[in-house]
Amino acid sequence: MEKITRRKFVKVVSTKAVVGSGLLGLSSCSKQSSKQSFHNIQTNKSYKWKMITTWPPHFPVMGEGAEKIAKWIEDMSGGQLKIHVYGGGELVPALEAFDAVSQGTAEMGHGASYYWAGKAASTQFFASVPFGMNAQQMNAWLYSGGGLELWEEVYSAFNLVPMPIGNSGVQMGGWFNKEINSINDIKGLKMRIPGLGGKVIAEAGGSAILSAGGEIFTNLERGVIDATEWVGPYHDYLMGFHKIAKYYYFPGWHEPGTVLEMFINKNAYSSLPDHLKSIIKTAAYRSNIWMLSEFETKNSEYLQKLIQDPKIQIRNFPDDVLKKFRTISNDVIDEIVSTDPISRKVYQSFEKFKKKISTWSEYSERAYYNALTL
């Protein structure tokens, strides 16, 4: 396998027909034939769509996932639906994808819903909630606990249809240019961090900055930011953060199971025959399991590279810092849901499901992990 260098990586980053009886007569046959012909025309129509992503072109895992979805849909449809994928900045700026798909500039988008908190605060609950649920729990809520129906309700107001297409799993806490020994070390800290986690950092006295992936390395190198979270060991290593920041903190309290999304223009989706809609949904399910599997595999491999680097210190956030982050997280969420009815509706569903599944996790996941340490 060709070795991936940071320079090469960053370069990639930047750049119902009804059949009647014959006894009805010739007139009925004529009408029936007309209906069948119309149905076949609709079924056999070809479609060429555009998908715009929030990721840099050909970005590992996330960008690859978008390209795989396009290929799977084309293959399963026998070429009836072809999708051209554009990386962030190739057709529209990365963080304008939501509006572009909503307005019909492109039929599909690929990203993460917390990027759209400025459009509707409730969107971020479908990506990740600090100290919330992990990947399998988020999937359970979305697919079997009513979460996806709520997500569809929220996005319907923007002429969009959302689908989960992946999950990062538990992320790392981020790269820092200074040690974090107490909550006071967050004061004045300029950190690239989106979503609810960013609000927590701001409430703790820091500054939360949202920037596209291709800008992070330069911003950290030049001191525009003092710290950044991104994803996990694989992507962080390829981005080269270990070359300019010394401290790598865990756990990813802010993103314990981040859902990646595909969002589709509602008018475009409604115009498709049912079998193509089913193909798109099937590709989304396939992407969900592929992406999480890829994250788990790559992160475990690249964590070893970072552990073996003597210049890097991998640190656990101090317990009192995590406790303070959790307290602030609850306050931030309470403020949002107290002023936004749809956010309150979504979060009530989220929290109710979390409490129920957490009880099961005590007897399953936690008990199993504890057994491993005996």
Q: State the Cα–Cα distance between residues 263 and 148, nearest whole angstrom.
A: 12
Regarding whether 197 and 56 lie in a shared domain, the answer is no
Same-domain status, 57 and 159: yes
- CATH number of domain containing 291: 3.40.190.170
**One domain, residues 275 and 363:** yes
Evaluate whether residue 83 is within a structural domain. Answer: yes
Which CATH number do you get for residue 241? 3.40.190.10
Together in a domain, 217 and 332: yes
User: Is the same domain home to 117 and 158?
Assistant: yes
196 and 317 fall within a common domain:
yes
Say yes or no: 352 and 232 in one domain.
Answer: no
Q: What token pair was written down for 345?
A: 């509706």
DSSP 96-128: GHHHHHHHTSSSEEEE-GGGGTTT-GGGGGGT-
220 and 272 both lie in a single domain: no
Same domain membership, residue 91 and residue 231: no
Number of other CB atoms surrounding residue 286 within 10 Å: 16
The pLDDT tens digits for 36-95 are: 443 444 568 999 999 999 998 999 999 999 999 999 999 999 999 999 999 999 999 999
Q: Is 18 part of any domain?
A: no
- Cα–Cα distance, 182 to 9 (Å, whole number): 35
- Considering the domain architecture, whether residues 221 and 189 belong to the same structural domain is answered as yes
- For 227, the domain range is 171-253+313-339
227 located within any domain? yes
Q: What is the pLDDT of residues 162-206, one digit of tens each?
A: 999 999 999 999 999 999 999 999 999 999 998 899 999 999 999
Q: Residues 299, 185: one domain?
A: no
Same domain, 98 and 161: yes
Model pTM? 0.86
